[in-house]
A and B are shown apart, each in its own frame.
Chain A
């Protein structure tokens, strides 16, 4: 009888529009140590929620001060990713502390999350660190982007006209590790974070804070978000389901901690549907630069000949290098903004020249275009300034090789080629592969 009443209530809510149909959203709590043991034994662990179109790994934050916040912050991030998902199919893998268990090797936190993320072939990873800083607690949230995701959606390529050599210019959005947020918490807020995370593991029979806890979110079993009835969501799993809050569980000073996950949801929507990434004020300048780069990338992909690349270049102008800032610290996102801006400016110059001929002959005309070397040199020199603070930016070095060759500065082209070789030998990130 109770069940029928519930169904009737849901049906009514549906009709009234307060119940949202959910795309596929699934989560799983994963034992990091067990996964690492499998990998150490040379066993490829099965892909968890392998059918999901997008899969995000969320790692327990590194918590050296034993503040009991590492798992709590990961739980909040996982929950926010699931309830705030803006893509059609999402799986979130929530890894326990990778540093727990016996330490059989010298792998650090970074190395372990790299291994786990690689083995699960996730779209992106979210991880972080929480540390005591005087009376406060600092929470750093990071986004890690594997090469496969960059190849899929976070790069720009421009083929130069045959008359200019026909080579490709390349740009990568951001770096592989992006600091999303640096947030300071008071001890009281830390306690509210722990309490909020605890509540997110409790499933209730009815969407009500006073309803008894029927069961907990399962460990190492996939669970699904079945029904969203804000501020509640119903979770189902083979062990049974229940209701948990979708909103209102982390308010006040806790709320900004969800913004990192919101950014990631936004990024996934950008990858799937080219939806613009909304920048959130609590996030880092690096995240802001990243968001601007995706906006510029979108403009470049749309290829509006009327825009002539000006829109993209304008968006990125605020990240242009400033001599004084470079001395103090690198610009947010390194030289990637300047590199993408270089592509936008070159593309703009190309489109301006092609636009002078009839649209019917654009393709053929494009291959004959030769840009004014003086104008190319100005753009290249500005980009080279950004390289100073990010000297291993392989894509920018590649572009400098191509463009210095074009403007007939063979010494600089040779030097850029040498620096690119050195960057690939001594750096962690390789040049984007050729198409």
Chain B
């Protein structure tokens, strides 16, 4: 480096001035160095969230790829955000990248990033990750109840899978619905998803799974007794069980699901959620038939919420128009 930086002025020889000159030269060089990447690099910003709760996912691995090559890697911060500086030049021609996000317990997600004229096609890339437990839980029918994780009694050896047992028990108790004229694919299904273990977010999970009810809870075996006590927390997408309603069933024989009986309150709550699903989805004929059977099955006095749902389905079904005066 010469003392005299071209383009940065010159002086006749005073040291002070030389020092100033050197300082200015240094600043000039620094300015040039800092300016060069500014016109070549593009900021790619994003945020990673849990699709169920919309809360940030901390520590998700994020990588930016161009073809097979990884351009850069980072992890999401405490607020779920991340940022890459990408040297993509200023060409107006679109350059294609892939943003990959992964985190344990979630299904990995990829999305496209297109940069043109040093600008990304989105100011903020949002990656809403699906929980693996949710993705693995795939009920077949439209009206459905999902049974999530049930904590086993203390000291239960091996894999107890109480979700499957509770689900079988519930399926048996709902078998009276098979007497209806509703076609089998429109009748409710009950699915066990053992991996769903998040009691705090049951309504959100139910919404995401498009389930009419989602339950999770704990199973206890009182000392010296052959049967179980089942505590279940219920969530639903309709706001029926806002704070995860808790229902207890005592003396349930979960070792033989066909013989097990959940408490009428538990069955009533599940039926209420299912019938609400039929009502909200305008499946009025199904609702009328199944609510009739439910009221015949449940102990007296008939649960008022189910009576009310039935009344609403009766009122709303189009068949009601056939009774009106001439149209």
Interface of A toward B, CB cutoff 8 Å: 64-66, 99, 108-110, 175, 177, 179, 326-330, 377, 381, 384-385, 387-392, 400, 404, 409, 411-412, 415-416, 418-419, 422-423, 425-429
The distance from the CB of B146 to the nearest CB of chain A, in whole angstroms, is 17
Q: How far is the CA of A409 from the CA of B324 in the complex (A)?
A: 11
Interface of B toward A, CB cutoff 8 Å: 172, 175, 178-184, 186, 256, 258-259, 284-286, 288-289, 292, 295-296, 302, 307, 310-311, 314, 317-323, 326-327
Q: How far is the CA of A109 from the CA of B320 in the complex (A)?
A: 35
For the residues of B in contact with A, the DSSP-based class is helix
Apart from A99-B258, A423-B181: 13 A-B pairs, beta carbons within 8 A:
A64-B256, A330-B289, A384-B319, A384-B322, A388-B317, A389-B314, A390-B289, A391-B284, A391-B285, A400-B322, A404-B322, A412-B327, A428-B181
Contact check, B318 vs A427: say whether CB atoms are below 8 A apart: no
Contact check, B302 vs A388: say whether CB atoms are below 8 A apart: no
Contact check, A415 vs B322: say whether CB atoms are below 8 A apart: yes
Which residues on B sit within 8 Å (CB–CB) of A423?
Answer: 181, 285
Contact check, A66 vs B182: say whether CB atoms are below 8 A apart: no
Q: How far is the CA of A136 from the CA of B322 in the complex (A)?
A: 44
Which residues on A sit within 8 Å (CB–CB) of B182?
Answer: 392, 426-428
Q: How far is the CA of A109 from the CA of B175 in the complex (A)?
A: 9
Which residues on B sit within 8 Å (CB–CB) of A415?
Answer: 318, 321-322
Q: How far is the CA of A426 from the CA of B182 in the complex (A)?
A: 6
With A108-B175, A327-B310, A415-B318: A385-B292 Cβ-Cβ less than 8 Å: no
- Cβ-closest chain A residue relative to B171: A108
From B172, B183, B317, give the contact of A428 (CB < 8 A).
B183
The distance from the CB of A61 to the nearest CB of chain B, in whole angstroms, is 13
Which residues on A sit within 8 Å (CB–CB) of B178?
Answer: 108, 110
Closest 6 CB pairs of A and B: A64-B258, A391-B285, A384-B322, A330-B292, A411-B327, A427-B181
The distance from the CB of B141 to the nearest CB of chain A, in whole angstroms, is 13
With A326-B314, A389-B314, A427-B181: A381-B296 Cβ-Cβ less than 8 Å: no
Q: How far is the CA of A412 from the CA of B178 in the complex (A)?
A: 31
Contact check, B327 vs A329: say whether CB atoms are below 8 A apart: no
Contact check, B296 vs A329: say whether CB atoms are below 8 A apart: yes
Contact check, B322 vs A416: say whether CB atoms are below 8 A apart: yes
With A64-B258, A391-B289, A423-B285: A381-B181 Cβ-Cβ less than 8 Å: no
- Cβ-closest chain A residue relative to B180: A428
- Cβ-closest chain B residue relative to A327: B311
Q: How far is the CA of A415 from the CA of B322 in the complex (A)?
A: 8
Q: How far is the CA of A330 from the CA of B288 in the complex (A)?
A: 9
Contact check, B302 vs A387: say whether CB atoms are below 8 A apart: no
Contact check, A175 vs B181: say whether CB atoms are below 8 A apart: yes
The distance from the CB of A321 to the nearest CB of chain B, in whole angstroms, is 10
Which residues on B sit within 8 Å (CB–CB) of A65?
Answer: 259
Contact check, A328 vs B302: say whether CB atoms are below 8 A apart: yes
With A384-B322, A415-B318: A409-B181 Cβ-Cβ less than 8 Å: no
Contact check, B327 vs A66: say whether CB atoms are below 8 A apart: no
From B179, B296, B314, B319, give the contact of A327 (CB < 8 A).
B314
- Cβ-closest chain A residue relative to B175: A108
The distance from the CB of A296 to the nearest CB of chain B, in whole angstroms, is 22
With A327-B310, A427-B182, A428-B181: A64-B319 Cβ-Cβ less than 8 Å: no
Contact check, B285 vs A426: say whether CB atoms are below 8 A apart: yes
A and B contact pairs by CB, cutoff 8 A, 5 listed: A388-B317, A389-B292, A412-B322, A423-B181, A428-B181
Contact check, A66 vs B259: say whether CB atoms are below 8 A apart: yes
Which residues on B sit within 8 Å (CB–CB) of A328?
Answer: 295, 302, 307
The distance from the CB of A338 to the nearest CB of chain B, in whole angstroms, is 12
Which residues on B sit within 8 Å (CB–CB) of A384?
Answer: 319, 322-323
Q: How far is the CA of A327 from the CA of B286 in the complex (A)?
A: 15
Residue among B181, B286, B327 with max Cβ neighbours from chain A (10 Å): B181
Which residues on A sit within 8 Å (CB–CB) of B289?
Answer: 330, 390-392
Contact check, A177 vs B179: say whether CB atoms are below 8 A apart: yes
Q: How far is the CA of A381 from the CA of B321 in the complex (A)?
A: 10
Contact check, A329 vs B295: say whether CB atoms are below 8 A apart: yes
Q: How far is the CA of A177 from the CA of B326 in the complex (A)?
A: 35
The distance from the CB of A310 to the nearest CB of chain B, in whole angstroms, is 24
Contact check, B317 vs A391: say whether CB atoms are below 8 A apart: yes
From B183, B258, B288, give the contact of A388 (CB < 8 A).
B288
- Cβ-closest chain B residue relative to A407: B326
